[in-house]
Amino acid sequence: MNEWNNEIVVEIFPAMWQGFIVVLQVTLVAGLIAVLLGLLVAVGLRIGPPWLRRVLSAVFQFIRNTPLLVQVLFVWTATSYYINPEWSAFAVGSAVLGVHYASYTMESYRAGIEAIPVGQWEAATALSLPTHRVWGAIVLPQMLRRSAAAVANWIIAMFKEVPTLFVIGVLEMIAQAQKYQGQHYDGAVEGYTIAGILFLAASYPVAVAARRLENRLAKSNF
Amino acid sequence: MPSPTSNESIIRFDRVDKSFGDLKVLDGLSFDVDPGERVTLIGPSGSGKTTILRLLMTLEHVTPPKDPAADGGVIWVEGKPLSHMEKGGKLVVANERHLRQARKKIGMVFQSFNLFPNMRVLRNVTEAQVHTLGRSKDEAEAKARDLLELVGLSSKVDNYPSQLSGGQQQRVAIARALAMDPDILLLDEVTSALDPELVADVLGVLRDVADTTSITMLIVTHEMGFARDVSNRVMMFDRGQIVEEGAPDEIFSDPREARTQDFLRAVLAE
């Protein structure tokens, strides 16, 4: 292994920064999918007809119990061969990552819904509130308060899994480091180190913010 | 389809059965309540009192009879079926749409208040007025402020429920139920979860409501003094059956049945 070289650090940094921006973009897109799809599935599991609940439960159990890497490679290959080879690795990778993590966020939402006391549902029934108000004004605000910190932690975990997408050619940081190394036969240590530092620099403040959010919600008046 | 009773009853239980699994809680229970009447249900735990209120609030559903026309098993409110609905000239088990409509005339105050913790006091009282009854926000707020004044909480409109004592929360819950202008108010052990020093305030508010309105009330309580003051009739339940019923003075001062005497002795000794 070559020795640490500061010149390489300076040279590789712009590409690594580019990769970091891609990581953030993937996190944003996949995070939105994970947050919204997880919520929809959790609600569907509560109010959907029995057949839908069985299907959702089986599908997301399957997703949760198979490796992300296998899912990424499978969906990328399947979409390239059978649907549209023009679809970008960024789009496919973000979608797979988002759906994969929706299978975890839905569990956090589900736990938040189940933690709502039965008396809340009964009061809503006694007042004949329409279903959209029961969910929009009573259940979701209370559930989100309980689930917000757990969902934020899943998004942080997902952020750290974005490098998985390098296997399908998403030019995130690991891919950039490997590209540099492939061209210069050097710079892998510097590249991976920069990647690690950037991941830490981005995820640590978010983790601290998530913990603060959790504490603040615990102390809030509702 | 007319109720099989005199038109005077606001509530009629006609041979109603209710089972939870193998446990039969109500077994062919029949009784009538007149409009404006205040009826207190007393009896030991598990005697079916709360189940009666929950059936009326449609939080539980009757165990369906095979043939409602012949076997009864139907709850009627204001001469119309509550637990059932008419379909093709027959009574069938009510669907959610029927229940939603039918229960609008019924309000309930729960033992554990069940205020919405994410809403301030004022919104707890306006939410259903706006979204169930279709009142304007201004109209709902005016009504809510009047009722919160009635229950002595006009200074708490901007508080969250968690910032109130149990007694204050229960008074908000009473205001929330009254805001819906119910014809029937169900009170399910509304003081059981309160510290003793907070009970008097809540009962005072309910006495005012009883004195100043003509709302029909069904009350489940262990507060015998309150039951005596506000009730027109007391029904003693045991194992899903009415053991004895009569005017409060009759039941509390001179109960005929040994089961009632035992129960009252036990409650009054507490």
- Top residue of A120, A128, A147, A221 to mutate, by most chain B CBs within 10 Å, is A128
Say if the Cβ atoms of A123 and B131 lie within 8 Å. no
Contact criterion met (CB below 8 Å) for B75 and B13 = yes
pLDDT by residue for chain B (270 residues), tens digit each?
Answer: 444 545 579 999 999 999 998 899 998 999 999 999 999 999 999 899 999 999 999 999 998 877 777 788 899 999 999 999 988 888 888 998 899 889 999 999 999 999 999 999 999 999 999 999 999 999 999 999 999 999 999 999 999 999 999 999 999 999 999 999 999 999 999 998 888 888 888 999 999 999 999 999 999 998 898 999 899 999 999 988 999 999 999 999 999 999 999 999 988 877
CATH of the domain at B18: 3.40.50.300
- Top residue of A116, A127, A217 to mutate, by most chain B CBs within 10 Å, is A127
Number of neighbours of residue A61 by Cβ within 10 angstroms? 11
As a whole number of angstroms, the distance between CA B6 and CA B82 comes to: 16
Å from A152 to nearest chain B CA? 21
179-198 in B: which are within 8 Å (CB) of A? 180
**Where do the structural domains in chain A lie, given as residue ranges?**
27-165
What ipTM is given for this predicted complex? 0.90
Range of the domain at B40: 11-269
Number of neighbours of residue B204 by Cβ within 10 angstroms? 14
Say if the Cβ atoms of B162 and A221 lie within 8 Å. yes
Tell me what pLDDT residue A210 has: 83
In a domain, B1, yes or no: no
Of B100, B161, B162, the CB nearest to A128: B100
Q: Give how many domains chain B has, as a whole number.
A: 1
Q: Residue A2 — pLDDT band, cuts 50, 70, 90?
A: low
* CB-based contact, B162 to chain A, within 8 Å: yes
CA atoms within 13 A on the CB side of B125: 35
In a domain, B4, yes or no: no
Say if the Cβ atoms of B176 and A127 lie within 8 Å. yes
Say if the Cβ atoms of A128 and B104 lie within 8 Å. yes
pLDDT in tens, A62-99: 999 999 999 999 999 999 999 988 899 999 999 999 99
Q: How many CB pairs under 8 A join A and B?
A: 66
Q: Give start and end residues of each alpha helix (H) in chain B.
A: 49-56, 68-71, 96-102, 121-131, 137-150, 166-178, 196-212, 224-230, 248-253, 258-269
Query: Interhelix angle for B196-212 vs B166-178, to 10°?
Result: 20
Tell me what pLDDT residue B145 has: 97
In a domain, B68, yes or no: yes
In a domain, B2, yes or no: no
Say if the Cβ atoms of A141 and B118 lie within 8 Å. yes
Tell me what pLDDT residue B117 has: 95
Tell me what pLDDT residue A176 has: 87
For the domain spanning A27-165, the CATH number is 1.10.3720.10
In a domain, B238, yes or no: yes
With contacts defined as CB-CB under 8 Å, which chain B residues touch A141? 118
pTM: 0.85
Say if the Cβ atoms of B127 and A126 lie within 8 Å. no
